[in-house]
């Protein structure tokens, strides 16, 4: 579960202008040139009347007026017209974001970070999913992961995330929750790990992904968050000293509940983890087709769903029901070998002769 210290970014700088001395117009109601008290937000100036409106954006705190282009979530939160273009509002967007996050963190950590049970049910929830009384120390729950054990050591995975949040922040939440699923699969049944340490390992994945996305402000927020009681800072340093493979192997092979001496330096090897499981079989996504071959000298390009691929290329393709990431591994005359969404399986697509491709 991921929690963030809950606060609104509001406008705080107040200027006062005499009549005729201002070129500012209110970004909420359009009134201007503004005189008297003017509030400054990250989006621009706000008149004193709008500053006193009772309704505000749940993301940035901007005042909300009727018919100002803002949107309202199912549970009554408002999102201003500036933030709504970058907010994840529906389930399809959330599913696509989680798939992108899964691919990114597997690429970041290596093949040993692929789930043995790849199917994950994604759902969105509203703030009243948990009672407001359930907030602890002003912390707000942004996501939850659950793995239900099944026969033969299999797991059924589910992730729920709060709707109406900015994409970059939701990437961090998705990375955190994905790590919970990996820990659930890889921690031995009798292995006891301190709760704060588990959450810190999950936060570390979010922290590392934010680094890859060049989002230092979110990284700092993760470090400052009191959620893990400071253990995230310990894990960041261990990651620097020993590498992420050491930490993931510690989950599997460590003996103490947390990264305390001597376990922090002796529990596991520092090399990157390698997969110790057989990949599950998957079928090619519907409507994914190899429709043509371009040969120019010694160069060969495969046409998959209208997009050209050289061997090694990875591109996103929009299919009928979802967007997938496709990496082209091999190109042959009558087939191509591809990898879809960082799966451990390589899929062979036969040339589609029905399209009249020579």
DSSP conformational letter for 235: H
Measure the CA dihedral 288/120/279/339, to 10°.
Answer: 30
| pLDDT tens digits, one per residue of 309-332 | 888 888 888 776 577 788 888 888
Question: Among 149-163, 230-244, 262-276, whose mean pLDDT is lowest?
Answer: 262-276
Tell me which DSSP letter residue 351 carries: B
Residue in 251, 258, 256, 255 with CA at minimum distance from that of residue 273: 251
Q: Give me the percent of the chain exceeding a pLDDT of 90.
A: 32
Distance, CA of 315 to CA of 278 (rounded, Å)? 26
* For range 222-243, the mean pLDDT: 89
Assess contact for 197 and 258: CB atoms under 8 A. yes
3-state secondary structure of 62: coil
Section 185-192 average pLDDT: 90
pLDDT score for 239 = 87
Q: What is the pLDDT of residues 91-125, one digit of tens each?
A: 999 999 999 999 999 998 988 999 999 999 999 88
Is pTM beyond 0.85? Reply is: no
Taking the chain, what is the end-to-end CA distance rounded to the nearest angstrom? 53
Residue 302 has pLDDT above 90, yes or no: no
The residue ranking higher by pLDDT, 117 or 241, is 117
């Amino acid at each position: 579960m991921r929690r963030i210290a809950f606060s609104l970014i509001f406008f705080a700088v107040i200027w006062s202008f005499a009549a005729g001395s201002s070129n500012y117009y209110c970004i909420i109601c359009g009134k201007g040139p503004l005189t008297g008290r003017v509030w400054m937000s990250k989006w621009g100036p706000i008149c004193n009347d709008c500053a006193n409106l009772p309704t505000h954006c749940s993301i940035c705190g901007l005042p909300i007026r009727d018919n100002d282009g803002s949107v309202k979530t199912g549970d009554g939160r408002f999102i201003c017209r500036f933030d709504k273009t970058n907010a994840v509002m529906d389930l399809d967007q959330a599913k696509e974001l989680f798939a992108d996050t899964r691919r990114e963190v597997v690429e970041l950590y290596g093949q040993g970070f692929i789930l043995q049970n790849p199917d994950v049910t994604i759902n969105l929830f509203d703030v009243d999913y948990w009672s407001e009384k359930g907030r602890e120390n002003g912390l707000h729950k942004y996501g939850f992961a659950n793995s239900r054990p099944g026969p033969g050591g299999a797991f059924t995975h589910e992730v729920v995330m709060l709707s109406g949040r900015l994409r970059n922040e939701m990437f961090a939440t998705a990375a955190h929750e994905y790590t919970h699923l990996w820990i659930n699969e890889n921690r031995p049944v009798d292995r006891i790990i301190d709760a704060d340490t588990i959450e810190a390992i999950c936060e570390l994945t979010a922290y590392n992904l934010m680094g890859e996305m060049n989002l230092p402000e979110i990284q700092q927020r993760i470090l400052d968050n009191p959620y893990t009681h400071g253990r995230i800072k310990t894990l960041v340093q261990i990651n620097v000293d020993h590498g992420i493979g050491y930490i993931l192997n510690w989950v599997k092979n460590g003996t103490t509940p947390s990264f305390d001496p001597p376990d922090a330096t002796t529990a596991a090897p520092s090399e990157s983890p390698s997969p110790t499981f057989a990949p599950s079989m998957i079928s090619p996504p519907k409507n994914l087709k190899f429709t043509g071959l371009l040969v120019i000298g010694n160069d060969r390009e495969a046409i998959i769903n209208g997009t050209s691929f050289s061997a090694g290329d990875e591109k996103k393709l929009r299919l009928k029901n979802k967007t997938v990431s496709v990496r082209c591994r091999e190109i042959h005359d009558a087939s191509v070998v591809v990898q879809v969404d960082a799966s451990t399986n390589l899929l062979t697509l036969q040339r589609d002769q029905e399209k009249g491709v020579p």
